[in-house]
């Protein structure tokens, strides 16, 4: 599955239009990937959506990767997967985020699906999305401390809501806490 650079239409388009902000590109196993600078995320996403040659109408997935155990800096990678229905292409856009300053511009106004994906990413990784209108936890409860998918969150740590637990123990199992 070797793909030459000339076939990677989107990559070359992005390289032409944003020569400075494309940090790295590769095509591992046929997945077209560009790593971009954090500052230009908004303009690149807008370009990807609106440009005739790209027209990625659909945001398929948005997530992050924690590379703590790989001892990489920057620690986090934001991963966006886009799908173009018109051209039948996919692209992966990655942004590297430092641990100290893990915030990134929100792209919620470009695709409607972004809203919840960014909330989930915030919930799981603690990545802050600037300008997101409603950034709060989605899968975990509000009192939850920490961000469970970070690699330094211990696997076996438990955080039951104490009040509920007390009620359950006392009234359900007749045990004192």
**Which residues would be at the binding site for another protein (CB under 8 A)?**
1, 28-29, 31, 33, 57-61, 63, 65-67, 69-70, 79, 81, 85, 88, 90, 92, 111-113, 115-117, 120, 124, 133-134, 137-141, 148-149, 151, 153, 155
Q: Does residue 128 contact residue 103 with C-beta atoms inside 8 Å?
A: yes
Nearer to another protein, 13 or 79 (CB): 79
Nearest distance in Å: CB 81, another protein: 6
Distances (CA, A) of 19 to 12, 22, 37, 40, 86: 10, 6, 11, 11, 25
Nearer to another protein, 16 or 134 (CB): 134
Nearer to another protein, 39 or 160 (CB): 160
State the Cα–Cα distance between residues 51 and 32, nearest whole angstrom: 17
Angle in degrees, CA 89, 92, 96, rounded to 5? 165
């Amino acid at each position: 599955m070797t793909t030459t650079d000339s076939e990677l239409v989107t990559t070359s388009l992005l390289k032409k239009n944003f020569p400075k902000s494309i940090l790295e590109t590769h095509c591992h196993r046929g997945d077209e990937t560009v790593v971009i600078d954090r500052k230009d995320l908004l303009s690149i996403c807008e370009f990807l959506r609106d440009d005739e040659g790209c027209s990625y109408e659909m945001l398929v997935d948005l997530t992050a990767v924690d590379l703590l155990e790989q001892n990489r800096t920057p620690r986090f990678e934001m991963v966006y997967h886009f799908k173009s229905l018109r051209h039948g292409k996919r692209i992966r856009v990655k942004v590297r985020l430092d641990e100290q300053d893990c915030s990134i511009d929100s792209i919620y106004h470009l695709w409607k699906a972004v809203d919840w994906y960014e909330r989930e990413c915030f919930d799981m990784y603690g990545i802050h999305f600037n300008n997101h209108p409603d950034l709060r936890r989605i899968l975990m409860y509000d009192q939850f401390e920490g961000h469970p998918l970070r690699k330094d969150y211990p696997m076996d740590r438990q955080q039951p809501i104490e009040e509920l637990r007390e009620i359950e123990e006392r009234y359900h199992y007749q045990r004192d806490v």
